[in-house]
């Protein structure tokens, strides 16, 4: 296509469309991925302090395929006769025996003292109502709060659930750190999408400006000696002197 057939800003306009499409796709991956794969909650009470202070923001991975000891989980507490979701830490899984004897300074897991550096004030037996020894059924979890003196957890549910446990199937998600690969990836995709959309919008604005400028200042056809462009009549007469 020659110079006369070019549409001003056309190439920049195509770049703008490409950037807008790419930005929308990236934003969708980050936004929808975060919606379907992650959920954010606010900590409603102090029972998970010091790990999760009251009001702190929590992000849970909804794609978990396995729950391990030490995981902080979001679960449906209907097994405890309640109609809401709860947040607790998993201290024992199916097949484990978790026990407490008054006077002990720790819980025991499978006959050995359980090291719990995350509990408030370093007191893992605070608030325990009495001795217990629970063999966790397969497919179930024994869960406790990190603030043992202020946590209504498995220790107080022996009468309404199997050893106070909750089914693994009731777990909705597991708490993730800010550097979790999936979380970082989704946030990066969303931020990249915003950046690419902004670049696309700027490119589109530049293309539109070029077209308007060209429309306001049209290019005359090449002068072939037949029809002179406006304002050029006088130059011919001046050049043909006596």
Q: Each residue of 99-136: pLDDT tens digit?
A: 999 999 999 999 999 999 999 999 999 999 999 999 99
The winner for highest mean pLDDT among 77-86, 141-150, 177-186, 205-214 is: 141-150
Token pair for 63:
């794609």
* For residues 176-193, average pLDDT: 66
* For residues 46-63, average pLDDT: 93
How high does pLDDT run on average in the chain? 80
Helix 10-37 vs helix 181-216: angle between axes, to the nearest 10 degrees?
160
* For residues 1-13, average pLDDT: 58
Helices assigned H by DSSP within the chain:
10-37, 181-216, 233-239
How confident is the model at residue 238, as a pLDDT? 47
Residue-range domain boundaries for the chain: 39-179
pLDDT of 241 over the 70 cut: no
Under 8 Å CB-to-CB from 232, ≥6 apart: which residues?
223
**C-beta atoms surrounding 53 within 10 Å:** 11
Question: How far lies 38's CA from each of 12, 33, 44, 104, 108, in Å?
Answer: 37, 7, 19, 39, 33
How confident is the model at residue 242, as a pLDDT? 38
* For residues 171-185, average pLDDT: 76
Map tokens 């020894």 to a residue. Answer: 133
Token pair for 9:
């800003």
pLDDT of 193 over the 60 cut: yes
**Confidence band, pLDDT 50/70/90 cuts, at residue 198:** confident
Query: Would you identify the CATH topology of the domain 39-179?
Result: Umud Fragment, subunit A (2.10.109)
How confident is the model at residue 237, as a pLDDT? 46
How confident is the model at residue 29, as a pLDDT? 61
How confident is the model at residue 45, as a pLDDT? 94
CB 143 within 8 A of CB 157: no
The whole-angstrom separation of Cα 144 and Cα 155 is 8
How confident is the model at residue 87, as a pLDDT? 97
Determine the distance from the C-alpha atom of residue 236 to the mean position of all C-alpha atoms in its chain, rounded to a whole number.
72
The whole-angstrom separation of Cα 1 and Cα 175 is 59
The whole-angstrom separation of Cα 74 and Cα 143 is 11
How confident is the model at residue 147, as a pLDDT? 98
How confident is the model at residue 101, as a pLDDT? 96
232: helix, strand or coil: coil
CB 155 within 8 A of CB 144: yes
pLDDT of 8 over the 90 cut: no
Q: Which residue has the higher pLDDT, 152 or 161?
A: 152
The whole-angstrom separation of Cα 35 and Cα 22 is 20
pLDDT of 27 over the 70 cut: no
CB 109 within 8 A of CB 91: yes
Q: Which residue has the higher pLDDT, 71 or 178?
A: 71
How confident is the model at residue 2, as a pLDDT? 47
DSSP string, 129-180: -S-EEEEPPTTEEEEE-SSGGG---GGG-TTTTGGG-EEGGGEEEEE--TT-
**Confidence band, pLDDT 50/70/90 cuts, at residue 68:** very high
**Confidence band, pLDDT 50/70/90 cuts, at residue 201:** confident
Token pair for 44:
């409603």
């Amino acid at each position: 296509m020659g110079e006369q057939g070019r549409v001003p800003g056309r190439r920049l306009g195509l770049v703008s469309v490409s950037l807008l499409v790419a930005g929308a796709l990236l934003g969708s991956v980050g936004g929808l991925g975060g919606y379907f794969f992650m959920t954010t909650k606010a900590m409603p009470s102090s029972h998970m302090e010091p790990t999760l202070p009251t009001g702190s923001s929590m992000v849970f991975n909804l794609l978990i395929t396995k729950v391990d000891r030490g995981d902080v989980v979001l679960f449906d507490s209907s097994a405890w006769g309640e109609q809401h979701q709860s947040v607790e830490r998993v201290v024992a899984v199916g097949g484990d025996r978790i026990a407490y004897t008054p006077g002990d300074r720790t819980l025991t897991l499978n006959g050995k003292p359980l090291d719990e550096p995350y509990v408030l004030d370093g007191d893992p037996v605070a608030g325990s109502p009495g001795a217990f020894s629970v063999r966790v059924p397969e497919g179930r979890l024994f869960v406790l709060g990190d603030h043992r003196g202020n946590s209504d957890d498995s220790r107080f549910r022996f009468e309404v659930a199997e050893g106070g446990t909750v089914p693994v199937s009731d777990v909705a998600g597991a708490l993730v750190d800010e550097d979790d690969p999936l979380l970082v990836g989704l946030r990066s995709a969303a931020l990249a999408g915003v950046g690419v959309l902004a670049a696309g919008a700027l490119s589109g604005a530049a293309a539109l400006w070029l077209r308007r400028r060209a429309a306001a200042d049209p290019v005359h056809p090449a002068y072939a000696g037949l029809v002179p462009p406006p304002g050029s009549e006088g130059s011919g007469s001046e050049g043909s002197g006596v």
